[in-house]
Amino acid sequence: MNHYLDLFPPSFVAVMTPFFLLPLLLLLALPLPLARSHDYHDALAKSILFFEGQRSGKLPADQRAEWRGDSALSDGSEVGVDLTGGYYDAGDNVKFGFPMAFTTTMLSWSVIEFGDYMPADERRNAAAAIRWATDYLLKTVSHPGVVFVQVIPHRHLY
């Protein structure tokens, strides 16, 4: 048995109910002027551009993030392996293989599923982003019996 309504006399509930419902109905009936449709094309383009900003290694000539330069050109050299390339994680100079592999898988799957809806130039940019990661990931498993799962600069070793 619900006793919440017993707190108020029936006349109060009858008088006050419209005052509570009217604002709710007005909110639902009025168009939301602040609500805008999302520009998914712009979001996709910026997310792919973000990947270009996180690139490690010798950058290609068509690099759109012009403020970026080559970096970490000696990754893996201490153990005689080329681990240049790939993407940095979390805005620093560390490369983690598993998060990069997951991200690359999701990006690849998205292009497979929705690539036909992408403008040709953005599809090329997405393919280049995937290729940048997969080229690096192949380097991490190119030695029998060894998987390189992360690259950490010396300044991160405490």
Give the residue among 130, 145, 156 at the shortest CA–CA distance from 75.
Answer: 156
Residue 136's contacts (CB-CB under 8 Å, 6 or more residues apart) are 56, 57, 83, 84, 85, 86, 87, 95, 100
Q: Contact at 8 Å (CB) between 98 and 149?
A: yes
Note the maximum CA span of the chain: 85
Digit-by-digit pLDDT tens for the chain (158 residues) are 555 556 656 665 555 556 666 666 666 666 655 556 778 788 888 989 999 999 999 999 999 999 999 999 999 999 999 999 999 987 788 999 999 999 999 999 999 999 998 899 999 999 999 999 999 999 999 999 999 999 987 665 55
The C-alpha atoms of residue 25 and residue 94 are separated, in whole angstroms, by: 52
Amino acid occupying residue 22:
L
Residue-range domain boundaries for the chain: 40-156
Q: Contact at 8 Å (CB) between 100 and 87?
A: yes
pTM of the full predicted structure? 0.74
First and final CA of the chain: distance in angstroms? 64
The C-alpha torsion from 35 through 40 and 45 to 50, rounded to 10°, is 70
